[in-house]
Chains A and B, each alone.
Chain A
Amino acid sequence: DTGVSQNPRHKITKRGQNVTFRCDPISEHNRLYWYRQTLGQGPEFLTYFQNEAQLEKSRLLSDRFSAERPKGSFSTLEIQRTEQGDSAMYLCASSEQPSSAETQYFGPGTRLLVL
């Protein structure tokens, strides 16, 4: 299977702990996106990369959040000092072309529960 993969699929943590999620995009895709989805809502954009460059960050991405994409391949999303409000599904997506409305293909997501 050559789709987008995310690990872990589920994470339970205590408030105040740090967590890190990983996303492996489809291999030929140079754009990678992170979204957050809370219960009963559609996904909300967090940030995206073109190759290794982080091109845009949402206001939702507080200082406790950091994302990286070293070497333009996989990406990590770290949340420091987690809060209960961070509980959500974190979705990663990738797309191929940088210059047009190109379809984003999503991974299975990481469900985070902060106790």
Chain B
Amino acid sequence: AQKITQTQPGMFVQEKEAVTLDCTYDTSDPSYGLFWYKQPSSGEMIFLIYQGSYDQQNATEGRYSLNFQKARKSANLVISASQLGDSAMYFCAMETGYSTLTFGKGTMLLVSP
């Protein structure tokens, strides 16, 4: 079975600082994909970044980067230079070839001025 664990219920960061949101995963499938989504209070899940299990380099998308440590089964999201608009719930998710996503419980990020 696939499992995603996000151990940080909430994180606080000041504007312009970097923040790391933790995600660990468990799967026996050698081929999988890891995703991060942002969910503002409006409810829509916004795709941020993707990492494939066979990708040699860590994924980056603008201010977002994914710190992928395969041996530790972790896929932490790093947001550089936080902005007030980054305040939201963040979900880590995994896809293992069965075409469905398994999500963690999420981390609430609050960015203060």
Contact = CB atoms under 8 A, between A and B. Distances in A.
A45 B43 contact: no
Interface stretch (B13-21, B72-80, B101-109): B101-109
Contact of A56 (B35, B93, B99): B99
A65 interface: no
A105 B37 CA distance: 10
Given A101-B95, A103-B35, A45 B101 contact: yes
A106 B39 CA distance: 10
A40 interface: yes
Nearest to B94: A101
Nearest to B50: A103
Given A42-B91, A103-B35, A103-B47, A33 B100 contact: yes
Contacts of B4: 42
A20 to B, nearest CB: 19
A93 B102 CA distance: 13
Interface residues of B, number: 27
A42 B100 contact: no
B64 interface: no
A79 B97 CA distance: 28
Given A42-B106, A43-B101, A48-B100, A89 B43 contact: yes
B84 interface: no
A21 B101 CA distance: 21
B59 to A, nearest CB: 12
Contacts of B33: 101
B104 to A, nearest CB: 5
A24 B91 CA distance: 23
Contacts of B52: 101
A59 to B, nearest CB: 13
A22 interface: no
B27 to A, nearest CB: 12
5 contacts: A42-B103, A44-B103, A56-B98, A56-B99, A101-B52
